[in-house]
Chain A
Amino acid sequence: MLETTDVTAAARPRLTLHRPPRGTAVRAAVTAVLLLFVLLALPQLLSLYYVDAMTQVAVYAVVSLGLGVLVGRVGLVSLGQIAVLAVGAWVAARLLFATAQPYPLVLLESGVITMGAGTIIGLPALRLRGLYLALITLMLAGAFSIVLATTNFPNGGHGFLGYNGKLLQIPPIRRPSFAATDPAYFRFAVVVAIIMFALVFVHIRTRPGRAWAAIRQSEPAALAAGINATLYKLWAFALASFVTGVAGGVYAGAAHYLYSYDFPAQNSIILLAVVLMGGAYNMWGAVVAGFLSQFLPALLNNWGVSNDWLTILFGIGVVQVLTTAPRGLADQFPKDMARLGRLIVRLIRRPAPAAAGGEAS
């Protein structure tokens, strides 16, 4: 959907899924080293303030991953993923207060319940074309935020809603016993994120991924080829809702206290903006999106720069991505770096006078 509809490109068969590209082993090794560094060394190096910010990066990287599956893989734009995150957080909080279940189990349950809710909503909405689907998700998210403002989040009260508005001291949402401190919880969040990324990775590399690619290319052609488009689109919704629900559960433990303020409608728009900027098609793009939406604000806040500049930047970024670099930063950045690298190499090889003849990028 976000790529230019080029007829000749559609005609070219997509073979990359079977033959792994060269350099995969190198990339895998780099990723592994990076993850080990993040898990083991990073919490030691950062102050608690930034550890907390990085925990949020992990949460929103997973949320961006979910939206990336919808937008990048299947071509469906959802403007209500923050509402899905809120549902996940709500379910997790309710279970954590009401039961004594271990935290990972609660995460699984909140993922599954959110997946159920997402699928039920996705089912009738799937008949809608791209624009209308996006707008209906916007409408549903708006309606949900009003319901949330009235029901609030569980805070240890009784009844289905678990909300007690009279409390003089609100109890915090518990964390897992093995991850109570901020650095430990950060590691927990990263491990959960890795599992979610792995889950999506497996999907992309197997049949659902191929079906999604076919649907994004051309739905009528996919239908003609015998692919059950409705099923696979629903599957994408279910997957995106599941990972976002789990992310909501991680968010609940990180925050300790949940408020309806935390999930305003404009966050869904900003989420879409950063996913587009980071690259909806690329799993690294989800990590970039997490950084953009959670780490940069923390950094700017520390430097005393208003977050509004970031909002403006995201707005510019959306337009930039849609007009020039549809695959986003994660895809564009290596290409730009490669181009820069080639330019530098060329400048070094030829002595100074000939540098004027070098290409302008």
Chain B
Amino acid sequence: MPSWQEFQPFIVTGLALGGVYALSGVGLVVLYQATGVVYLAFGAVGAMGALITFSLIAAGMPHWLAWLVCLAFGGAVTLAYGMVFGPLLARRDALVKATATLGLLLVLFGAMDLLWTTSGGEVRSLTLPTDSGGFSLGHVQVTWTQVLGLGVGVLIAGATAAFLRYTKLGTAMRAMANDREITATLGVPVRRVEAAAWLGCGVLAGVAGLLLADMVALDATTLTFLVISSLAAALIARLRSIAFTFVAAIVIGLVQNMLVPIPAVSSYNDMTPFVLAAVALLVLARRQVMTRSREET
């Protein structure tokens, strides 16, 4: 069993990764609350945005502008999808809506491999200015990027929670999560609120895409399916609470990384999000009432 000192660097990496999972998880939860859609294409959108940013930087665009393009891309694609297919599937249950986003995932996935082919020894990577530089915390070296990952996660979670509670638009989103029909009859501009939710989620996908591309890898497959880890955090929070999503994401990130120095389970550390989510879902199932056939949150 490794010593406490040996665990410390993994705690840092775990917190950083957990922060980014939290950021993605919050995006997923907010969109689900407002529209009933589990946005499984979240990772793919972020991945494609990151690849576009990479290409633009390679072509000479200033970094900050290229990052903005990534956010804009995420927002635009998500908004377009939401505005076109949202109404078409509005009356269907959550499973159908989620499955439809799988269609978007496949389209983006195929497009990414077509446009950014893997060949030869070519390797793509995205660097953020926070990569160089950091500070020491005891024996551990902490980079600014890791601080950024955790910081953005905290910031987004906090800001989103506050937004949902204290602003008019946020309240409207919460109302729609409760009951879309009644909210509409109350005069809330439902389509516009939905649009705001889609756009916000899309921009978050872009942010997560950039951070993960830097912290993990700029690889379409990896980034597309990393959404499953964020989804795990959202599921543990029952797709409901921002605070729980944040905590769950941090826990997943920590546990996953802290398993690495333990030789017996080290090679299974990637399973952490899946196992934790499956367990959480099963515990959830025991409490659920079976008789409702319509999707409940």
A residues with a Cβ closer than 8 A to B are 1-2, 4-5, 77, 124-125, 127-132, 134-136, 138-140, 142-143, 146-147, 150, 218-220, 223, 229, 265-266, 269-270, 272-273, 276, 306, 308-312, 314-319, 322-323
Contact = CB atoms under 8 A, between A and B. Distances in A.
A135 B102 CA distance: 12
Contacts of B284: 128, 132
Interface of B: 38, 85, 88-89, 91-96, 98-100, 102-111, 113-114, 221, 225, 228, 231-232, 235, 267-268, 270-271, 273-275, 277-278, 281-282, 284-286, 288, 290-293, 295-296
A322 B277 contact: no
Contact of A142 (B38, B235, B274, B291): B274
Given A136-B278, A312-B107, A316-B107, A272 B290 contact: no
Task: Give me the 8 closest cross-chain CB pairs, A-B, nearest first.
Answer: A315-B106, A311-B110, A318-B103, A315-B107, A312-B110, A319-B103, A143-B274, A127-B285
Contact of B100 (A1, A136, A322): A322
Contacts of B286: 127
B54 to A, nearest CB: 18
A147 B285 contact: no
Given A124-B282, A306-B114, A270 B95 contact: no
10 contacts: A135-B98, A139-B273, A143-B278, A150-B267, A229-B290, A273-B103, A311-B109, A311-B110, A319-B100, A322-B96
A243 to B, nearest CB: 22
A308 B114 contact: yes
Contacts of A323: 85, 88-89, 100
Nearest to A317: B103
Nearest to B115: A308
Given A124-B282, A311-B110, A220 B99 contact: no
Contacts of B290: 127, 219, 229
A7 to B, nearest CB: 12
A265 B267 CA distance: 18
Contacts of A146: 268, 270-271, 274
Contacts of A150: 267-268
A262 to B, nearest CB: 15
Given A139-B277, A318-B106, A134 B95 contact: yes
